Structure 1
Amino acid sequence: MRTLHTRRTARLFAPAIAALAALSLTACEDGTGTKDEGASAPVSSPAAAQPGKTDSGRPATTTPAPDEKAEGPKGTEGDDKAAQDDANASDSAAAPENRVLCNGSNTKVTAQPVPRPLNHMLITVTNTGSKLCDLTYYPVLRFDEMQWAPTAAKETQPQAVTTLAPGESGYAGVLLAAADGSGDGGATAKKLTVAFQGRTPNSDGGATATPPLPAKGVYYDSSLTVTYWQQSMDDALAW
């Protein structure tokens, strides 16, 4: 009887064991079954496998720390600042506010006939201001009420503008009359007006000057010609 009972019991449990085995297999296949308790492998994703990209696949952006600055090689900052200061000083020296036009308001002007060359007069302009001033082109002369202006000798044009520091003088020579008497329309002038040009030819350079002439006046004719402004007296009278 014991044997018969054992066989019956075995037959009763066989279907249950088969059912449990099938359930266990299904659980393993869908990933919900019990796993090995050993070290688990890291979960990987396509984004994680590509350095420099976010989970969305866009390139990752690296933001520097707030105290990080882009700096050049150490030791050059002082040199760069000094070089920049020198450049600024140079630009400032050449800036328009530090240079003005020479004219009758900031200079003293004299006009004096000279014995040599013959029939010549020297015009001297002295900077009485506190800034550098430029004598541009040549003086525009008018004797008495004459209605024309003398031409300038082109060959006397200097390579650079004549610039006067405070207290310095610039010069222009004047041929009053032809030495051989070939000029015509001669007259004796008692008054001279000197006009100054601006930064462009024949433009207004500011206040005029009226330097006194000798009491007997000066004689001039149609040969009347002036030089460009010169830095030295010798250059003004060399023509």
Structure 2
Amino acid sequence: MRNLRFRRAARTSVLGTAALLAALSLTACQEDGSSSAVDTPSSPTAGTSSAQPENGAEAPAEKGEDTSGTDSASSASGGSGSDSGSGSGSGSSGSGDTQPAAKKPQGGGDAEDDGPVTLACDAKNTKVTITPVSRPLNHMLLSITNTGSGICNAYGYPSLRFGEAQSVPPVFEDSKPQAVASIAPGETAYAGVRTSSADGSGEGGYSTKDLVVGFQGRSGGFSGASANVTLGKDAYVDSSLSVTYWQTDMENALMW
């Protein structure tokens, strides 16, 4: 009996020891396994982010790293391309903004002029002469020759004042030409002058060697410089004194 108890006690002690050893062994294995499963992280390389992109995503920048330079460069590059494109598109105008075109004056005058301004003929740009003619009777031929450097227009008809006359003689209305008599430098315009009636029906006749010739302007009315003409011999004038419009043809001036 005593031996049986001793054996049971010895077996229980052995089993307890074995269980203890097994527990210690299991604990050691777990610690070893846990220790071996954990890797020591390697030190990250300086200037390189330790985070890796997932699914091709761009890795986030490290703290303190400035990415604005790249973005700015990209924006500048893109903007430059856009600007150069618009520059080529607006090259014909030379500017991106549309500027109204300035309206230039025509013919050296105001913007509304159709061409260069033509001066009216007067004593400053013409040479004035008057000569008697044999036909028709009691007529004289008044001539003005352009001495200027440009065309002048002989508007209307001349104003004649023989001697001390106080009025302008009337004009033959039927002698009015279809266009104003324009004379180039060196050319001549003419007007016929009936000094007195051929049948003696005129009144208040007198003789004189003095004559003042006046000129009409573009808007009508006598203006500009007048010419003082000295006749070679006395001219007799009466109430029949009349004059034609300026003509470019001598024969047309002596028809009246």
Match of 1:138 in 2: 157
Q: Quote the Cα distance in structure 1 between the aligned partners of 2:250 and 2:232.
A: 20
Aligned length: 162
Aligned to 2:23: none
Identity in percent: 46
Are residues 1:222 and 2:243 paired?
Answer: no
User: Can you list the C-alpha shifts for 1:69-121, whole angstroms capped at 9, x where unaligned?
Assistant: 498xxxxxxxxxxxxxxxx679999311xx21111111111011100001100
Q: 1:211 aligns with which of 199, 209, 229?
A: 229
Paired letter, 2:244: T
Of structures 1 and 2, the one with the larger relative CO (CA 8 A, separation 6+) is: 1
Alignment-derived partner of residue 232 in structure 1:
249
Moved over 4 A (4+): 88-93
Cα distance change of structure 1 residues 200 and 226 upon mapping to structure 2, 3 Å threshold: same
One-letter code of the match for 1:153? F
What secondary structure does 1:126 align onto?
strand
C-alpha separation in 2, matches of 1:136 and 1:94: 18
Matched, 1:113 2:137: no
2:157 is paired with a residue whose SS is coil
Distance 2:87 2:249 in 1: 63
Flag the structure with larger Rg: 2
Report how far residue 199 of structure 1 moved: 1.0
Aligned pair partner of 2:116 in 92, 95, 101: 95
Report the 3-state secondary structure (helix = DSSP H, G, I; strand = E; otherwise coil) of the residue aligned with 2:228.
coil
Per-residue deviation, 1:203: 3.7
| 1:33-48 equivalent positions in 2, closer than 5 A | none
Question: How do residues 100-179 of structure 1 correspond to structure 2 at under 5 angstroms?
Answer: 100-179=119-198
> 2:142, 2:222 → 1: CA distance?
20
User: TM-score, normalising length from structure 2?
Assistant: 0.58
SS in 2 for 1:151: coil
Q: Which runs of 5+ in 2 are unaligned?
A: 1-54, 56-82, 93-105
How many angstroms apart in 1 are the aligned matches of 2:114 and 2:235?
41
Deviation at 1:223, TM superposition (A): 0.6
- Computed over aligned residues only, the root mean square deviation of the Cα atoms, in angstroms, reads 2.8
TM, length-normalised to structure 1: 0.61
Larger strand percent: 2
